[in-house]
Structure 1
């Protein structure tokens, strides 16, 4: 809840009480004036949003009731009300005050204009987006074949070179989030338009920091039907510690993608049509090709950036990959397909073929929820499989994760398992509402996850000395435990 939202609601509650307890008309007029001032400040500083709609409407009605006696002061006095009628009006006013108080505060608290936690690294975070076209691959679009187009977002260690520069942090990517929520929940994207009032911790197109000659690269792959913006705060955190972090929109597999010319691409599949089949490798292979293509383009940009921003700043010889859900499946596939990647992290994703039957030979980390992609029989009804088919699939992916952690992956392997949270707690989506966080401290959850991710990539991508947290198994904790399997 934003400051002036809370103040405005509180003023209206007091205003309602002024009618309930028949305060002097001067008090009502003063309250009306105060409410007007705060509503103007709220509109000008914070911006209006639909969650405050009841307050806006109430302001109009209470203004009318406040001014009504002055408008009618020359008219004849109406007949006195009966005692019973007065009681009914008083009870109605009390009920309305309670309903308004609960619903108004409830709406703005349940759907807040949130702010991401500040990155903890030593660098400012720069950010830019790029539109890439892969002429070597084509895909169907409105009955014709077109080259594959991809949007990427790049976060990087930045530096404000002008001491007098007025730092303007980027607005929250509400369009990508709104479009994704529309795909997942079938809710009009206008429902989430209020997210435009949030700010990020990223500064668009600032200079790359000169504190390092060049910086290693981490590539991120989003979940099925999601967006490259799904883990925005995590991208900022990693970039603040000295990485180029490149998040890819896998067009058509993402829930929503918007290109610079205004074209929008929505995922045409059903939000619950995810393939519960480990042999189904088609989409994950397409994603793997996306990743390799992006690295090809980054290599070219590093040699000669048309914008003059990244030339010579990326360490193309040090690259890691990580992803969430289907993006975690993609991370494993990329390690199998592309030798340029040194290590990878799978955040709560299944292993698909051919990875499932392969022996990866690069360091790998599993970050999982304790229930590991389990869904209830009620949720299964919305999918394209039966409960029996799902349980068979779930048993298989669990066995595969155990096997690859223990022996299937021939290099160092780690497993971070969270007891609290669910599949989406690994993303930024729980920031949308406390109802989605389910009482979990999302900041603390992400802090632990990012700490292990940084330790892993610092060792296997940057080549730094092993962080002690990777050597120590931790199981006696209230919401996560960590296992380590050092093989080299």
Structure 2
């Protein structure tokens, strides 16, 4: 649970508990829900909305009404209804505290290397290969490639997100696990401490290159902790979404290619012969990615010019 989320829950606790007092809440306690509303504003501005906090938002609105109600000279409810209402508020308070704790914003371990980390993403076409899994037999093999590298960040570059195109990818990943589509909507609140398109580290060193290949029906960012750690220690890590074999591939022009077992395997069922062909396709993807890196290594003005080992 993040700082303002925790403060929001804590400041609502005494106001809810005061409701069980035989004398009711003193009028001055209306300051608590007012402070809670201010905290919601700070939380949304600094930390960002996430659906796990909806019970806390709802609780605060109800408490705000209860706080200002004594000043409006409205008729007081009978004691049994007051007790029932406070009991329901207590249940809502428990839900408001439990949900963000049970489903927190993911926190990655800090990198241990001496370097900041940058990343860049590119869409590439391998003109030497046809796409065997496309509906159009003349299509060329298209890939989305992402590179992580030691960076010379100024801090002005935008923070990279964990899962690009989350509004599309989140429901797909949730579906894989049989979970509600909205469950992963908060993933991009995870602080990566990776700068998008930051300049590469300015020194005389060249950096070893590691190629990363995801698993079947997965995505290129599946091992973000490892990738960040390697880049912070001076490695350049390059990965692709293996189009049609990745859970989804989103191209810059908005096209989306989803995983479809029926395109890869006869009757959608894996078999050794077609699985072997798929692995060869992945190997060719990595060869193409390596060729691109070698071109950029020799290209004047490219950020990776002379920097790859």
The TM-score range, normalised by the shorter chain, is 0.7 to 0.9
Contact 1:214/1:313 (CA < 8 Å) preserved in 2?
A: yes
Mapping of residues 117-196 of structure 1, within 5 Å: 117-139=109-131, 140-142=133-135, 145-160=138-153, 166=156, 168-173=158-163, 175=165, 178=170, 180-187=172-179, 189-196=181-188
Matched, 1:34 2:35: yes
Per residue, is there more strand in 1 or in 2? Answer: 1
Cα pair distance change 1:188/1:30, threshold 3 Å: same
Unaligned runs of 5+ in 1: 316-488
Name 2:54's counterpart in structure 1: 53
Decide whether the 8 Å contact of 2:157 with 2:196 is kept in 1.
no
Select 1:255's aligned residue among 244, 247, 254.
247
CA distance 1:91–1:240, change in 2 (3 Å): same
| 1:290 matched to 2:292 | no
Of 83, 86, 95, the match for 1:93: 86
Question: Residue 221 of structure 2 aligns with which residue?
Answer: 229
The C-alpha deviation readout for 1:406-464, integer Å capped at 9, x for no partner, is xxxxxxxxxxxxxxxxxxxxxxxxxxxxxxxxxxxxxxxxxxxxxxxxxxxxxxxxxxx
In 2, Cα distance between equivalents of 1:222 and 1:205: 22
Deviation readout 1:45-99 (Å, 9 max, x if unpaired): 11221111112222222222332333235xxx67x84xxxx356425523541x2
- 1:178 & 1:254 partners in 2: Cα distance? 14
Gaps of 5+ in 2: 263-267
The 2-side partners of 1:293 and 1:179 are apart by 30
CA contact (8 A) 1:174 1:195 kept: no
Find the aligned partners of 2:40 and 2:141 in 1 and give their Cα distance.
48
Aligned residues: 299
CA shift in 2, pair 1:15/1:5, >3 Å? same
Check the 8 A contact 1:179/1:255 in 2, yes or no: no
Matched residues in 2 for 1:26 and 1:131: separation? Answer: 60
* C-alpha separation in 2, matches of 1:101 and 1:259: 43
Deviations 1:12-32 (A, max 9, x none): 2322222222121221x1112
Q: How does 1:321-400 map to 2 (within 5 A)?
A: none
Partner residue, 1:197: 189
Please list the CA deviations of residues 266-297 of structure 1 after superposition, one character each: whole Å capped at 9, or x if unmatched. Answer: 11238xx7737588312111111111111111
Match of 2:7 in 1: 7
Pairwise CA distance, 1:174? 5.0
Q: Return closer, same or farther for 1:146/1:225 CA change in 2, 3 Å cut-off.
A: same
Spell out, residue by residue over 1:155-183, the C-alpha distance to the aligned partner (whole angstroms, 9 max, x if none). 112224x6xx5465323325355255145
Aligned 8 A contact 2:157 2:198 in 1? no
Q: Which TM-score applies when normalising by structure 1?
A: 0.56
SS at match of 1:206: coil
1:191 shift after superposition:
3.2
Q: Which moved more, 1:136-145 or 1:285-294?
A: 136-145
- For residue 23 of structure 1, the aligned residue among 22, 25, 29 is 25
Change (3 A) 1:247 1:166: same
The alpha-carbon deviation at position 3 of structure 1 amounts to: 0.7
Secondary structure at 1:119's aligned position in 2?
coil
Looking at both structures, which has the greater relative contact order when contacts are Cα pairs under 8 Å and sequence separation is at least 6?
2
What do you get for the CA RMSD once the two structures are aligned? 2.7
Tell me the equivalent position of 1:220: 212
**TM-aligned CA deviation for residue 187 of structure 1:** 4.3
CA distance in 1, matches of 2:270, 2:204: 43
Who is 1:207 aligned against? 199
* Contact 2:34–2:64 (CA under 8 A) maintained in structure 1: no
Distance change >3 Å, CA 183–CA 249, structure 1 → 2: farther
Mean Cα displacement is larger for which, 166-175 or 144-153? 166-175
Q: Distance in 2 between matches of 1:183 and 1:295?
A: 33
